[in-house]
């Protein structure tokens, strides 16, 4: 196994091993997309906040791999404990990682912001599940005005942002919609506490 680990890398090996164990136990790994998120926000770990590049790489990896609210909270608390209160680009990074988790699980292809509009493009798989009443159920999780269309076989939701809406507010609204979308297209089993 050592040679195999060297060839695929430790991280990929442990991920493959976990998937094999879960498959053996009958636990299906959640199908998801890798949604492209482009919200025009500065979202990174500034050098004056985390100077060591190895620590930065490890933190980016932890942020990307966080798969629960608890994991996200742990990362946030760890950042504050180790580096102090974080600046806006880190706040944005954590918020985008949070909403990307829901976008991926809800089978979303793209989330973009242009001007005062947010556009969410669903995958064909999500489109099939969300068409009709389900998309409106998902939209009930946001107060933003929405337009729904089908373009190239994909459901596209455009959310209009009021001019004076703060970034944190529209990020919350967008996340709420993505969480609502997740419940209609790919409901997740409740995680049992040990």
Can you give the pTM of this predicted structure?
0.81
Q: What are phi and psi of 141, to 5 degrees?
A: -80, -5
Looking at the predicted structure, is the pLDDT value of residue 31 above 70?
yes
| Mean of pLDDT values over 149-174 | 95
How much is the pLDDT for 52? 92
Give 104's contacts (C-beta < 8 A, 6+ positions apart).
Answer: 32, 33, 34, 35
- The mean pLDDT of 143-149, rounded to a whole number, is 96
For 123-149, letters b (16+ CB in 10 Å) and e give beebbebbeeebbeebbebbebebeee
Mean residue pLDDT across the chain: 87
Whether the per-residue pLDDT at 24 is higher than 90: the answer is: no
Q: Where in the chain is the domain with CATH 3.90.1150.50?
A: 31-185
Q: Does 2 score more than 50 pLDDT?
A: no
- Residue 107 and residue 123 in contact, taking contact as beta carbons nearer than 8 Å: yes
**CA–CA separation, 174 and 120 (whole Å):** 9
Nearest to 65 by CA among 11, 29, 121: 11
Q: Which CATH superfamily is domain 31-185 in?
A: Transcription-repair-coupling factor, D7 domain (3.90.1150.50)
């Amino acid at each position: 196994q050592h040679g195999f680990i060297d060839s695929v890398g430790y991280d990929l090996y442990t991920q493959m091993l976990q998937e094999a164990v879960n498959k053996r136990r009958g636990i299906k790994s959640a199908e998801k997309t890798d949604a492209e998120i482009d919200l025009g926000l500065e979202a990174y770990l500034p050098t004056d906040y985390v100077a060591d590049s190895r620590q930065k790489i490890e933190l980016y990896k932890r942020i990307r791999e966080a798969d629960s609210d608890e994991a996200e909270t742990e990362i946030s608390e760890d950042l504050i404990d180790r580096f102090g209160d974080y600046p806006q680009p880190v706040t944005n990074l954590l918020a985008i990682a949070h909403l990307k988790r829901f976008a991926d699980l809800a089978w979303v292809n793209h989330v973009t912001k242009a001007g005062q509009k947010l556009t969410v493009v669903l995958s064909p798989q999500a489109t099939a599940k969300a068409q009709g009443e389900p998309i409106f159920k998902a939209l009930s999780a946001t107060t933003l005005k929405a337009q729904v269309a089908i373009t190239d076989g994909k459901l596209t939701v455009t959310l209009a942002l009021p001019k004076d809406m703060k970034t944190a507010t529209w990020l919350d609204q967008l996340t709420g919609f993505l969480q609502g979308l997740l419940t209609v297209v790919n409901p997740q089993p409740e995680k049992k506490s040990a």
